[in-house]
């Protein structure tokens, strides 16, 4: 079996390394459009303590402690300048995205998988002729690969603007901070991901963005303005930006079909969901493991992909319902900003209650994928 994986992010890397482990004689290679050094983004939170949690990609590394993971047990909501402290319910693991991706890449290379960086892709017809299977894991960069028409994504853009910073301030809890000023409401999402660094994401609606004239300001002026807005949290610490990580609008990408012919989608290429539920990498790992299981269990690739599709589509739908509900809650927070701390916290907690728990569906899929 000759497989090409498009995209060396968490989804493609977990798929490739675990597939190679299950089928050592299969020929697996990865094409990555960026250079080896280029891994955008700061820290992410993952579920559980490695090696125990199967959806935490660190669980698949021999020495996860080398990535300096930070464990988080508490959630802090700050509103009206007052903190509300709660348990996160499950241990969360903050880690630098770049360190995680580089460690997974090293694992793939050690297993005999070639990663070709900065290589232009062949046409769909050429890929079909050359490979038995093409695993598309190029994230939300859907325009970067030509796919069969049946795999054209449904795309929806969020209404809020967000910007992803790093900071040397340490946030020991998962922080959700609401700060209002004359221009509107700014929401900060912050958590530690190494001994010295934290992620700090700022979100605001388009009116606030326009009123604060953020478009007219330089990168450093925006960072200074937001650091001042969140001065109570950041103290003297700066917000540090990365090249190419300016203001964005969240892109919700989805599919009703996970494969067509020899092309199969995993990770954000299959579905993306708002960062406020923090499950993007968990979904990427779970779906990659499910694909490994279905391909390992079934000699006929078409039947394996049909089995994969029938299991993954309901999971993706549930994930999207949770993520969209959460995104909409943040986009309409102005309607609730007059609530007390307790009532805002209760509303935040209840924002995904209309749907069956995502955790149960993820654990069910992981149980099947790992044969438990
Ligand atoms: C602000 C923000 C915060 C987030 N926080 C969290 C969090 O705390 N926890 C969490 O679990 N998730 C979080 N996520 C989501 C998480 O980052 C993604 O869900 C996860 O990275 C998906 O992995 P992936 O491998 O599918 O895609 P990606 O990580 O996007 O990797 C895709 C790879 O494909 C490459 N590529 C693109 N096009 C091509 C091409 N044509 N050819 C070859 N290679 C290509 C890219 O360069 C990249 O390396 C966050 C996302 C955002 C935006």
Ligand 1 pocket, residue 158 CB under 6 Å: no
Counted residue by residue, the chain has a size of: 372
Residue 333 Cα to ligand 1 midpoint, Å, equals 26
Inform me whether the pLDDT recorded for 206 exceeds 80.
yes
Ligand 1 pocket, residue 13 CB under 6 Å: no
Inform me whether the pLDDT recorded for 212 exceeds 90.
yes
pLDDT the model gives residue 278: 87
Band of the pLDDT at 229, cuts 50, 70, 90? very high
Q: 77 with 83: CB under 8 angstroms?
A: yes
Residue 231 Cα to ligand 1 midpoint, Å, equals 30
- Calpha distance 5→11 (Å, rounded): 10
Residue 101 Cα to ligand 1 midpoint, Å, equals 10
Joined tokens for residue 88? 């996160």
Q: Tell me what the mean pLDDT of segment 161-172 comes to.
A: 97
Residue 268 Cα to ligand 1 midpoint, Å, equals 6
Ligand 1 pocket, residue 57 CB under 6 Å: no
Residue 81 Cα to ligand 1 midpoint, Å, equals 33
Give the residue whose CA is nearest to atom 3 of ligand 1. 275
Ligand 1 pocket, residue 122 CB under 6 Å: no
Ligand 1 pocket, residue 273 CB under 6 Å: no
Q: 85 with 69: CB under 8 angstroms?
A: no
Ligand 1 pocket, residue 33 CB under 6 Å: yes
- Calpha distance 362→278 (Å, rounded): 14
Partnered with residue 75 across adjacent β-strands are 86, 174
360: Cβ contacts below 8 Å, ≥ 6 apart: none
Give the residue whose CA is nearest to atom 12 of ligand 1. 280
At 31, give phi and psi (nearest 5°).
Answer: -110, 125
At 73, give phi and psi (nearest 5°).
Answer: -115, -10
Q: 266 with 259: CB under 8 angstroms?
A: no
Strands (E) across the chain are located at: 2-6, 27-32, 43-47, 70-79, 82-96, 114-117, 133-136, 154-167, 174-181, 184-192, 198-204, 248-254, 259-260, 263-265
Joined tokens for residue 8? 């060396």
- Calpha distance 13→8 (Å, rounded): 6
- Calpha distance 280→273 (Å, rounded): 6
Joined tokens for residue 303? 């039947």
Q: Tell me what the mean pLDDT of segment 41-46 comes to.
A: 95
Inform me whether the pLDDT recorded for 262 exceeds 90.
yes
- Calpha distance 251→215 (Å, rounded): 19
- Calpha distance 283→266 (Å, rounded): 9
How many other C-beta atoms lie within 10 A of the C-beta of residue 215?
Answer: 10
Mutate to test the pocket of ligand 1, among 36, 38, 44 (most ligand atoms within 8 A of CB): 44
pLDDT the model gives residue 117: 98
361: Cβ contacts below 8 Å, ≥ 6 apart: 314, 315, 318
Q: Tell me what the mean pLDDT of segment 235-253 comes to.
A: 93
Residue 287 Cα to ligand 1 midpoint, Å, equals 14
Mutate to test the pocket of ligand 1, among 139, 246, 323 (most ligand atoms within 8 A of CB): 139
* Mean pLDDT of the residues in the chain: 96
Sign of CA dihedral 204, 208, 212, 217: positive
Nearest to 200 by CA among 182, 187, 181, 212: 187
Ligand 1 pocket, residue 282 CB under 6 Å: yes
Global confidence as pTM: 0.97
State the closest ligand 1 atom to the C-alpha of 279, by its place in the atom list counted from 1: 11
pLDDT, tens digit (0-9, with 9 covering 90-100), for 101-156: 999 999 999 999 999 999 888 999 999 999 999 999 999 999 999 999 999 999 99
Mutate to test the pocket of ligand 1, among 108, 141, 288 (most ligand atoms within 8 A of CB): 141
Inform me whether the pLDDT recorded for 170 exceeds 80.
yes
Q: 90 with 48: CB under 8 angstroms?
A: yes
Ligand 1 pocket, residue 138 CB under 6 Å: yes
256: Cβ contacts below 8 Å, ≥ 6 apart: 154, 313
pLDDT the model gives residue 203: 97
Inform me whether the pLDDT recorded for 372 exceeds 80.
no
Inform me whether the pLDDT recorded for 244 exceeds 80.
no
Give the residue whose CA is nearest to atom 38 of ligand 1. 138
- Calpha distance 145→277 (Å, rounded): 27
């Amino acid at each position: 079996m000759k497989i090409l994986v498009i995209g060396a992010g968490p989804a493609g890397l977990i798929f490739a390394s675990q597939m190679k482990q299950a089928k050592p004689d299969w020929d697996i290679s990865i094409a990555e459009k960026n250079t080896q050094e280029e891994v955008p983004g700061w820290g992410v939170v993952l579920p559980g303590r490695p090696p125990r949690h199967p959806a935490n990609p660190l669980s698949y590394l021999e020495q996860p402690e080398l990535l300096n993971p930070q464990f988080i047990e508490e959630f802090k909501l700050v509103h009206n300048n007052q903190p509300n402290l709660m348990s996160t319910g499950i241990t969360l693991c903050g880690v630098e995205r770049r360190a995680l991706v580089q460690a997974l890449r090293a694992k793939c290379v050690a297993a005999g998988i070639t990663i070709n960086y900065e290589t232009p892709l062949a046409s769909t017809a050429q890929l079909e002729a050359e490979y038995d299977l093409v695993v598309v894991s190029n994230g939300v960069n859907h325009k970067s690969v030509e796919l069969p028409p049946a795999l054209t994504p449904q795309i929806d853009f969020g209404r809020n603007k967000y910007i992803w910073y790093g900071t040397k301030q340490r946030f020991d809890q998962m922080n959700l901070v609401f700060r209002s000023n004359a221009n509107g409401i700014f929401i900060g999402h912050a958590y530690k991901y190494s001994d010295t660094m934290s992620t700090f994401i700022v979100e605001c609606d388009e009116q606030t963005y326009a009123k604060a004239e953020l478009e007219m300001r330089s990168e450093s002026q925006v960072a200074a303005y937001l650091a001042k807005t969140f001065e109570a949290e950041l103290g003297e610490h700066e917000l540090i930006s990365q090249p190419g990580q300016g203001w964005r609008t969240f892109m919700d990408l989805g599919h009703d079909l996970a494969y067509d012919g020899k092309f199969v989608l995993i990770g954000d290429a299959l579905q993306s969901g708002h960062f406020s539920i923090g499950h993007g990498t968990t979904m990427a790992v779970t779906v990659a493991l499910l694909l490994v299981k279905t391909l390992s269990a079934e000699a006929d690739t078409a039947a394996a992909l049909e089995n994969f599709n029938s299991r993954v589509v309901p999971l993706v739908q549930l994930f999207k319902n949770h993520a969209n509900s959460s995104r909409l809650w943040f986009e309409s927070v102005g309607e609730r900003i007059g609530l007390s701390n307790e009532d805002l916290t209760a509303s935040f907690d209840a924002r995904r209650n209309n749907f069956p728990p995502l955790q149960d569906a993820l654990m069910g899929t992981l149980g099947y994928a790992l044969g438990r």
